[in-house]
Amino acid sequence: MTGPFALEITMAGTEQQQLAQAYTPLTIGPLTLRNRFIKSATNEGMSPDGVPSRQLVQFHAGMAAGGVGLTTVAYCAVSADGCTLPNQICMDRPTLPHLRALTDAVHAENGAVSAQITHGGCFTFIKGPGRPLSASGGFNKIGLMSGQYLKQEMSVADMQGVAADFATAAELAREAGFDAVEIHMGHGYLLSQFISPLYNKRRDEYGGSLANRMRFPRQVLRRVLDAVGDELAVICKYSITEGVRGGNSIDDGVGIARELAAEGAHLLVLSAGMNAESITTMFGSSFPPENRAVVTNPVMKGAMFLQSLVEKPVPFRELYLLEHARKVRAAVDVPLAYLGGVTSAAGVAQLMSEGFDTLAMGRVLIHDPAWVNRLREGQIQRSGCTACNRCVTMMYTEGGTSCVLGSQGDAVLNRIPAAG
């Protein structure tokens, strides 16, 4: 069997059609993607002093050259006090020329590019002049690693200010040439701290019921939609289950999807887990102990050690979030991006057959940026990624995120000239 979609083993005709569907265009809000593959946000660690580097430009241009319809620039803070890490990108005017170099490079490869915008809340390792903001005040367990032992409950005025910061960041993203913005509402950052009962202990209209806990995240979404929704796709990424006792369950995850759909989100990215409490729920596999050896940041090294004491070993399986994601798919009509262990042609075909609109992938594309094109051309059927999670650890090293196994997509990256 030769030609497009030829595989190492023969696939059934229906499965071939389902795989082919992943290569058809999709419209989300005002944006039309050339196919259904999204490079998910993975903090690459390639922005020294908060400035996007040539390496980061090449990284995302390589994803577009390798075939993805949309690549996502991870974890852009909406304000300086919303940063989690010292070298994190902040969506401000001085950063715009560097971001424009990145978006131009992606567009030159006929891809689209999204800016993930976020606020860390109390999930920060940067000491500020006051307590870090969160849904509720009191003890800050995240601050054990950075000496910020207390957090500050946000006032309504604080919320209004942060919502305005999200809208301004979206406007700056539009000016920098991005095609979409992704509002990060998962994994334990500020908006997640409102959504999650683990963090939100408020007794006013912003706490208690799920509808109340969603009130501030919905206000942020509305501000962003009003600011850029006619020109940029507005995406929300959230945790459909937090994977920890006392946190949001999949039933809550379905309710969150309904709330975001009702507010008008153009696409939902279905992630899971929390950074501190349930990272294996997020990645679907354990982090090997030897990962800590390559991390130079003492705070992150300590955090990884503490996680190893509470997380049980989890073996990887393909499509590890599918059972949960199906429940969201059955409940809402809004476009959905499945995220969670897509590693094969058969997996892609199955997700298309089950009605998911897009596929968001991280580790597979870090391993091989050309995976989407190679799959389409019939050169491969399954990724060589082993879900060892070393690439996640590498973001905290000087070189930034990379695959320790060696990527077969290096040629794609190397053929792209460095940005000026």
For position 299, what pLDDT does the model report? 53
Q: Are 407 and 366 in contact (CB under 8 A)?
A: yes
- Whether 303 is covered by a domain: the verdict is yes
In this structure, is residue 289 part of a structural domain? yes
Indicate whether 417 belongs to any domain.
no
- pLDDT of amino acid 314: 86
Structure tokens at 59: 């990284």
Sign, Cα dihedral of 28, 178, 73, 64: positive
Mean pLDDT across 396-400: 74
Domain that holds residue 327: 13-403
CATH at residue 230 = 3.20.20.70
CA distances from 222 to 108, 152, 217, 235 (A): 31, 24, 9, 12
Lowest-pLDDT choice from 153-162, 310-319, 346-355: 310-319
pLDDT (0 to 100) of residue 394: 78
Residue 312, domain member (yes or no): yes
In degrees and rounded to multiples of 5, residue 150 shows phi and psi of -125, 150
The answer as to whether 2 is a domain residue is no
Amino acid type, 339? L
Cβ atoms 377, 67 nearer than 8 A: no
Three-class SS of residue 105?
A: helix
Active-site residue set: 189
Q: Decide if 291 contacts 304 (C-beta within 8 A).
A: yes
What is the average per-residue pLDDT within 89-114? 98
Is 7 inside a domain boundary?
no
Distances, alpha carbon 132 to alpha carbons 3, 81, 219, in Å: 56, 8, 21
| DSSP letter for each residue of 149-183 | -EEEEPPHHHHHHHHHHHHHHHHHHHHTT-SEEEE
How many structural domains comprise the chain?
1
Whole-number Cα distances in Å, 9 to 2, 49, 82, 317, 332:
11, 48, 49, 21, 35
Amino acid at 10: T
